[in-house]
Amino acid sequence: MLVAMVLSLTAMVAERRASAAAWLAAAVLVKPAPLVLLPFYLYRWRGRDLTMFAACLLAGYAPLAGAGLKVFAGLGRFAHEWTFNAGLFRWARDLFDLAGAEAPGALARQVMLAVLAVALAQLIRRDHGRPAELPRHAQSALLALLLTSPVANAWYVAWLCPLTVVRTDPAVLAWMVTSVVGYVWYFPSASAGWMRVLEYLPVFALLIGEAWRRSRRRSSPA
């Protein structure tokens, strides 16, 4: 997935949109995570580029057409049941559980989906459609996806690594280091609470600091 996604972004920066559409479809066929980049692509694509993307997706699923919708059964189960090394999602689920919610996991997933939608909307609002901007927005969109996801394997965080070449985000760099803490979950003696704080606190502190600095720059007189 990562190779196809990077090749797609590279093609978009070079304004080879049809090639970018094919590579993005290839990435999505491996894992659906790159779909968070689609709004930024649509801002830059023409109709034929979207057609290329859809055609490549259909071609990828064609050999499995006989299975019908069952081909997505594993993905659906993963999305609704699996959780590992989550940050915001786990905290939200624990809060809903303490509040006595009937289905805290499902409710937390809905809230995280709303948070992700708001984050993507903010990124789209700041997007000017320039090709060179795309890798930066891609990094931010993937970061938002992973921070709200019920599953945040350390190797998922590695998806952000190639994009640090074009944008050095301190929060991303911090998470690349602290995400290895996630593997401590495999040991039953590990304390879930403090391990999660150790992993996520530096990331959110840096994100909040950057948001504060950005707001100060906007409010300061020119």
How much is the pLDDT for 63? 86
154 is written with which tokens?
């350390």
How much is the pLDDT for 187? 60
The amino acid occupying position 52 is M
Reported as type and span, the H/E element at residue 173 is: helix 170-178
Q: What is the pLDDT along the chain (222 residues), one digit of tens a residue?
A: 999 999 999 999 999 999 999 999 999 999 999 999 999 999 899 899 999 999 999 999 888 887 777 777 777 777 777 888 888 998 999 999 988 888 888 899 999 999 999 999 999 998 888 888 899 999 999 999 999 999 988 889 989 988 888 878 899 999 999 988 877 766 655 556 678 888 999 999 999 998 888 777 766 665
The amino acid occupying position 36 is V
Going from N- to C-terminal start, the domains of the chain cover 1-81
Chain-centre distance for alpha carbon 178: 17
pTM of the entire predicted model: 0.88
Q: How many CB atoms lie within 10 A of CB 89?
A: 22
Q: What is the pLDDT of residues 171-186, one digit of tens each?
A: 999 999 998 887 776 6
How much is the pLDDT for 190? 52
The amino acid occupying position 64 is L
**Helix axes 73-81 and 104-125, enclosed angle (nearest 10):** 100
How much is the pLDDT for 201? 92
